[in-house]
Every structure is written in C-alpha cells, then in structure tokens.
C-alpha cells in the first residue's frame, strides 16, 4: 500500500463528525482529539512552527530551501466529516485491481457499489479502490486531503534536491457545517495564495463554486380537537406541504447539473402545532441567487397574507459566495495547478464545484484559494470510495506545484 493510503487508513479511524447544533469550535470534541494527533504527525515528519489553537485550527510550515524570495504557497484540508451519515467505526474494504464490475459493500444488507449507477467507477479500472462496508461514510472528504498534504510534505523533506519556497499547511474544523473559515487566521497563515485539497475525481480543478444561502421556515399552527376544528385549526404540517409545493419542481438537486442552481429541501419536521422546513439555496450567478432569495421571501409573505400574520417565520442567511469573483484576476494560480497536473500525467478537469469549500470563503478573506482533487467520489454516504492511485497523483500534483 502506498504511504498516502497508509496515512489515510490511519486517519479514518478517528470519528470526526461535525455538529451544526453545537455552538463550540470545533463543534465536536472528536475533532480536537484528531487535531492533537495530527500535531504529532506534523512534528514527526519534520514540519516546523506547528501550532494548534483553542478553536482546533492546525498550522505548520516547511521552510524554503532556496536562497531567493519566492511566493509562499499554502495547502489546506478539513478534519471533520459530514453529519449526513455516521463516521463511527469505519471499516474500509480494499479492492485491488478493480475490474469494472459491481462491488458488494454489504452482502447481508444487499448494498452494492455499481458502475451502472455510479459510472465514474469506470475511470478507476485497474486501480486499488478503498470503499465503505455499507454502514458508514468513508471519510475521504477530507481525510484524503490531509493524508495527501502530509505525504507530499514528508516527501519534500526527504528529497531536498527538490527546490521550493516556504510552504504553509493548515487543517481546519467544521467545514462540512459551513464554519471552516470562521476563525481561520489568514494573517497568521501568511501565504500568498493556497489550494484546498478537497475535490473529487482525479483531475478536478475548481475555481468556481455556488453562491450559497441557508433558509429555515418555521410555521406556527393552531391545534384544536379535530371534531370541532372547523374555522379554528391551523395545521402547520399541511401549510408546510402547501408552501413546499410552491417551489419549482425542476429546480432541485436531483434535476440539475453544471451551472444550474437549485432549492434543496433538506428537512421537514413537525406536527399540527408547529413545523420546520430547512432549505439550502444554491446558484453560480449572483443575480439569480438574489432572485431565489426574493422568491422565498415572496412565498412566505403570501402565505402569511393567507393564513394570518406570524403564521410563518423566515430565517434566511448567506453562507458563502462564488470565489470566481476573487480569482478572475489571479488566474495564474489556477494555471499553476493546471500545468502541475499535466506534468504528472493527469488530465485536468476544470469545472465548477456544485458545493463549497473553505477556499471559497478564504478567497473573500484575502487568501486566493482554488480547489484540487483528492480522487474520491460519492462523498457523505455509504457509497463513498477513493482510488489509491488517484490519491498518489494528488500528492505528485502538490509536489509539482511548489517545485521551482
């Protein structure tokens, strides 16, 4: 097994699910436990200026080995895994020399990873693939990125003949719940630009992402005995259903692709007395993004007009914006990664992120930060997998980016 895979398999043993309901940073103690372990990893391979702050942010340096001033480059990955599925007791399966056929993840539960449903698997025929056992997510998002950064740093330390400037690395908490950049100290990081190693398929290179907003709709009903409810009952669940049906059916994640935006009903909970709907709103175009938020405000207003003032309360807040706005005048950073991939035999796939990364917010905080592949796919669920050979190519890409 390649060193990067050995590190990855070690790191996914740490459960690091983030928790949106928590008010602490990091949002879960398990992330801090993992961070302390990573500090020892950084020190053991020879990185310098290793620090862990009270919020769970790790930073470290690899000093320059040349006698001239060049740009300081950063690499960033996140420690937490998605709360969409459990990350406890991950039991990975290793499939060597993948043959392009179905992979049985869990025979008892009849859970199968099939290229008929997930055609990207065909990209990795002949590779060693690491999968879940069908009971958890895998954690490649983003422990693969951590493993790749540390493997690359370890290689550079062992090979001083590869000339490079100062390199900064950082591992952040709570990216999956949108807080990864909240307490990131850009000034302390002190890099001219950086890359998040948080992408998917082999070759992905991204400098565009969604504009994103969070929406919570609370419906206040009025419950009385159904036998005497005429003209008195206000059924919050029924009102919520009617409101949800006002959203365009074709503008959902399962119906959109490429540069198309969407409304995503993420949860719907309640009873007659009270119901809550949460949505995420996504769009690449800022004008369309604002129109989507206007649309939601309008249907809430109309629902209140029909059922009475105060029936529906709306919480609507922006989460992050399209980093393209901050990278359009710094495309040499993107070109550097593009050329590095080509140099190590990887065909770059330049396409927008239908999601977000820490790099999106960091770009608006003054640290330009495109996103690079890890080699994984189907993140956040039991069908998650990653190619070992693709992981190694990510390591080689990092090394080539910093090489003078």
Q: How far is CA 148 from CA 48, 130, 160, 224, in A?
A: 18, 15, 19, 59
Asked if 327 contacts 363 with a C-beta cutoff of 8 angstroms, the reply is yes
Catalytic hit among 142, 154, 174, 175: 175
Q: Which residue(s) pair with 234 in the sheet?
A: 222
Give the integer Cα–Cα distance in Å for 77 and 34: 13
Catalytic hit among 80, 141, 251, 377: 80
Asked if 355 contacts 82 with a C-beta cutoff of 8 angstroms, the reply is no
Specify whether 175 is catalytic.
yes
Q: Which residue(s) pair with 77 in the sheet?
A: 171
Give the integer Cα–Cα distance in Å for 230 and 220: 18
Give the residue numbers annotated as catalytic, written as ranges.
80, 175
């Amino acid at each position: 097994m390649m060193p990067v895979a050995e590190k990855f398999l070690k790191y996914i043993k740490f459960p690091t699910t983030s928790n949106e309901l928590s008010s602490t940073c990091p949002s879960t103690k398990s992330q801090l436990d993992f961070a302390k372990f990573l500090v020892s990893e950084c020190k053991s391979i020879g990185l310098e200026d290793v620090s862990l702050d009270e919020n769970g942010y790790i930073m470290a340096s690899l000093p320059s080995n040349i006698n001239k001033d060049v740009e300081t480059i950063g690499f960033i990955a996140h420690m937490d895994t998605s709360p969409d599925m459990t990350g406890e007791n991950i039991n990975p399966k290793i499939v060597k020399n993948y043959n392009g056929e179905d992979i049985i993840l869990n025979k008892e539960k009849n859970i199968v990873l099939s290229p008929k449903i997930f055609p990207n698997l065909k990209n990795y025929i002949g590779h060693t693939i690491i999968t879940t056992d069908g009971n958890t997510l895998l954690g490649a998002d983003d422990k693969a990125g951590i493993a790749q950064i540390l493997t690359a740093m370890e290689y550079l330390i062992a090979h001083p003949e590869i000339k490079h400037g100062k390199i900064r690395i950082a591992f952040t908490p709570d990216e999956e719940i949108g807080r990864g950049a909240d307490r990131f100290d850009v000034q302390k990081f002190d890099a001219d630009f950086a890359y998040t190693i948080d992408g998917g398929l082999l070759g992905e290179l991204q400098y565009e992402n969604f504009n994103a907003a969070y929406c919570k709709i609370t419906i206040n009903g009025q419950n009385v005995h159904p036998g005497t409810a005429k003209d008195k009952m206000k059924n919050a669940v029924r009102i919520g259903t009617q409101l949800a049906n006002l959203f365009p059916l074709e503008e959902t994640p399962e119906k959109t692709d490429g540069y198309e935006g969407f409304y995503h009903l993420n949860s719907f909970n309640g009873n007659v007395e009270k119901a809550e709907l949460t949505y995420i709103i996504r769009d690449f175009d800022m004008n369309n993004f604002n129109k989507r938020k206007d649309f939601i405000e309008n249907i809430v207003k109309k629902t209140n007009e029909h059922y009475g003032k105060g029936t529906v309360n709306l919480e609507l807040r922006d989460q992050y914006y399209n980093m393209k706005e901050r990278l359009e005048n710094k495309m040499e950073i993107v070109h550097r990664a593009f050329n590095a991939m080509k140099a190590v035999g990887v065909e770059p796939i330049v396409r927008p992120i239908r999601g977000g990364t820490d790099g999106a917010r960091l770009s608006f905080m003054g640290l330009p930060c495109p996103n690079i592949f890890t080699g994984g796919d189907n993140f956040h669920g039991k069908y998650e997998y990653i190619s070992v050979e693709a992981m190694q190519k990510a390591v080689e890409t990092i090394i080539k980016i910093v090489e003078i």
